[in-house]
Structure 1
Amino acid sequence: MMEGLKRMKEYCYECDNDVDITITEKEIFTEIKGIKFSYMGEIAYCECCGNEVYISSISDENIEKANQKYREITGIIQTQEIQELLEKYDIGQKPLSKLLGWGETTIVRYIQGLMPTKEYSNRLKELFNPLKMKELLDNNNNALTKIAFKKTSDKVQGYISKTGDKKPIITANYFLNKMDVDAGESITPLKIQKLVYYAQAWLLGIFGRPLFCEDFQAWLHGPVIPDMYIHYKTLGYKSNDSLPKPSSVDCCFNEEEIMTLEMVWNVYGKYDGKYLEKLTHSEVPWQIAWRKREEENKGTEIITKESIEEYYKELKNKTNFDFGSIENLEKLYCSLA
C-alpha cells in the first residue's frame, strides 16, 4: 500500500457494491506510437474479489506518467520544462506562441498536456539558451507589445550578463565544468583554447554550421580567439587550480551541440595543451592561415570558417565518423601522438 493512499471506499463492478480498495504501486507495460516501455503507476484492487477497480483520477495520473516516460525516452520536452521556460523569461503562453510564429494557443495546449512534435520540442528546448532567445526576440520583436518585449528582453539580458555575451567563453565553461566530473584532469588556458577550437571545427564539419560567430586567428601556439586569450591571460600556463570557477552554461547548447561537445571532450580531453597545439599545427586550416600571415607579413590572420568546415568534413568522411562510434577518430589521433 502506498504512503498516504490507504484503504478507501469505491464501487466495484464485479461485486456490484461499494467496497474497500487497496492502491499499490506496480510496473505497468504500455506502448505509445510504436515504442514499448514500462513505468511505475498505481493500481486499485478490490479487497473482496481481488479484481482491479477503475478509478478515473488514478487512470489520469497513470496516463500522465506514461506520457512523461515517453517524452523522456524520445527527448520530447516535458510540460514542467515548458512552464520553467515561461517563468525563466517572464513571458506568457500566448506571447511565446506568437513570438515563435505558432498558433496563439499552441503553448496553452502544450501546458495542458498535448504532446508537441519533435521539431516543436527542439525549438522550445533551444530557447533555454539565452542567446537563442535573444535572437528570437530580435527577429520577431513586432510579435509582442512594447511592454511585454521589454520585460522579456530584460530577463534575457540578465542571463546573458551572468554567463558573458561571448559563446566561446560559455563553451570554455562547458569544458571547465568537466573538472568537477573528472577529478585530477588538468586544464590550462592553452588547452581551453584548443578544446573550444575543436568544438567549433567539428560542429562545422559534422553539421555544416558554426557553434559561434567569432573567428579563430592563427597564432604561434595554434588557433586562438583574442577575447578568450585576454579573458585567461593573467593565468599564464598554470594548472586548473588557478582557473576561475566557471559559471553555469545555463543550457546554452542544443542537442547537436551537446553531442559535439561531449565527443570533443572524449576524444581531445585526455591530451594536454601542448599536444593539442602540436595537433592543430599539423592540420590544414591553421597551416593555410599561418602561411598567409607570413607571406603577407601580417600581424594576424583569420582561420576562415570555410577552410575549417572543408577540412573537417573531409576528416569526418575519412574516418567514417558517427556519434555512436568514435573509435576511428580516436585511433587517428592516437596514431599522431
Structure 2
Amino acid sequence: MEANTLLRKVHMNCPLCGKTHEVEERKRVTSIVLKGEKVTYEERFYFCANADEDENEFETGAMTNENLLNARNAYRIKKGLLTSCEIVEIRESYGLSQVDLAKLLGWGEATISRYESKAIQDEAYDTMLRLIKDNPLQALEFLKKNADKFTAMKRLEIRAKIVEKLDSYGKEYLTRQTFESEYANFEE
C-alpha cells in the first residue's frame, strides 16, 4: 500500500462501519493504467479506523470525480496534451462559455464540457485549442468560419473579446512568429 498523508478529520456517518464518528481524510500518490499507459497521480479518500483492514477506505462521489480527473490530467501531461485546467484557462482568457468555445471551434456543444471534466481530447482537438491559446488571430479566423453558429450580438461580443486579447498580447505573438519564420533557415 502506498504511503498516505492525513489531511483532516471529519465527523460523519461512516458508510463502512455504519457509525457516526471521526473519519480521516487522507491523500496519497497512486498509479493506474489509463488507455494502456501507467500514470501516477494524487488521490483523496476517507479512512475508517473502525472498519476491517481489507475494507477501511472509501470515497465520496465528488472525490471519485476529482481522483479520476487527476488521473486523466496525469495521462494528458504524459502524452503532451493540455490538462483540463489549461483548457479552462484558454476558454476563460477569451471570456467564453463552454458552449461558445465549442461553437467557435466548430465542435459539438458538449465537447468542451467533456474535456474540462472527464474526456481526454485527441491530438487534433488539442492542436486546435493550442492554436487559439497564443494566437488570437486564429480565434478570429475560427469566428469568421463559424459565424453562423452565433447571433449577431453574440458574434460582436466574442469578436470584441478576441480583439481585446489581440491588443493585450497577440501582437507580441505575431512579432515572435515573424522572427521565428525569418530565422527558420538558420536552425539545425
Instruction: Give the TM-score range, shorter chain.
Output: 0.7 to 0.9
Secondary structure, in 3 states, of the residue corresponding to 1:72?
Answer: helix
For the aligned residues, what is the CA RMSD? 2.7
Which runs of 5 or more structure 2 residues have no equivalent in the other structure? none
The residue number in structure 2 matching 1:305 is none
Secondary structure, in 3 states, of the residue corresponding to 2:157?
Answer: helix
Secondary structure, in 3 states, of the residue corresponding to 2:9?
Answer: coil
Secondary structure, in 3 states, of the residue corresponding to 1:77?
Answer: coil
Does the CA contact (< 8 Å) of 1:8 and 1:20 recur in 2? yes
2:145 counterpart (102, 126, 139)? 139
The residue number in structure 1 matching 2:136 is 130
The residue number in structure 2 matching 1:278 is none
Does the CA contact (< 8 Å) of 2:102 and 2:111 recur in 1? yes
Shift of 1:138: 2.6
The residue number in structure 2 matching 1:72 is 77
Structure 1 residues 88 and 41: CA distance shift in structure 2, 3 A: same
Cα deviations across residues 256-298 of structure 1 (Å, max 9, x unaligned)? xxxxxxxx5xxxxxxxxxxxxxxxxxxxxxxxxxxxxxxxxxx
1:44 counterpart (46, 58, 61)? 46
In 2, the alpha carbon distance for the partners of 1:138 and 1:166 equals 22
The residue number in structure 2 matching 1:169 is 175
In 2, the alpha carbon distance for the partners of 1:118 and 1:167 equals 23
Q: Which moved more, 1:147-156 or 1:159-168?
A: 159-168
Greater strand proportion: 2
2:156 counterpart (150, 154, 159)? 150
Structure 1 residues 197 and 154: CA distance shift in structure 2, 3 A: same
The residue number in structure 1 matching 2:183 is 198
Does the CA contact (< 8 Å) of 1:21 and 1:46 recur in 2? yes
Does the CA contact (< 8 Å) of 1:91 and 1:148 recur in 2? no
TM-score (norm 1): 0.46
The residue number in structure 2 matching 1:103 is 108
Q: Which moved more, 1:33-42 or 1:139-148?
A: 139-148
Structure 1 residues 91 and 27: CA distance shift in structure 2, 3 A: closer
Shift of 1:147: 1.1
Structure 1 residues 92 and 42: CA distance shift in structure 2, 3 A: closer
Does the CA contact (< 8 Å) of 2:91 and 2:97 recur in 1? yes
Does the CA contact (< 8 Å) of 1:22 and 1:46 recur in 2? yes
TM-score (norm 2): 0.77
The letter of the residue matching 1:161 is D
Structure 1 residues 158 and 29: CA distance shift in structure 2, 3 A: same
Shift of 1:112: 3.7
In 2, the alpha carbon distance for the partners of 1:47 and 1:37 equals 29
What percent of counterpart residues are identical? Answer: 24
In 2, the alpha carbon distance for the partners of 1:60 and 1:34 equals 20
Does the CA contact (< 8 Å) of 2:87 and 2:129 recur in 1? yes
Structure 1 runs of 4+ with >6 Å offset: none
Shift of 1:130: 0.8
Does residue 159 in structure 1 map to residue 146 in structure 2? no
The residue number in structure 2 matching 1:23 is 25
In 1, the alpha carbon distance for the partners of 2:41 and 2:115 equals 22
Which runs of 5 or more structure 1 residues have no equivalent in the other structure? 173-192, 203-263, 265-328, 330-337
> Which entry has the higher C-alpha Rg, 1 or 2?
1
Shift of 1:27: 1.8
Does residue 6 in structure 1 map to residue 9 in structure 2? yes
The residue number in structure 1 matching 2:35 is 33
Structure 1 residues 131 and 23: CA distance shift in structure 2, 3 A: same
In 1, the alpha carbon distance for the partners of 2:151 and 2:93 equals 19
Structure 1 residues 8 and 50: CA distance shift in structure 2, 3 A: farther
Secondary structure, in 3 states, of the residue corresponding to 1:97?
Answer: helix
The residue number in structure 1 matching 2:118 is 113
The letter of the residue matching 2:48 is C
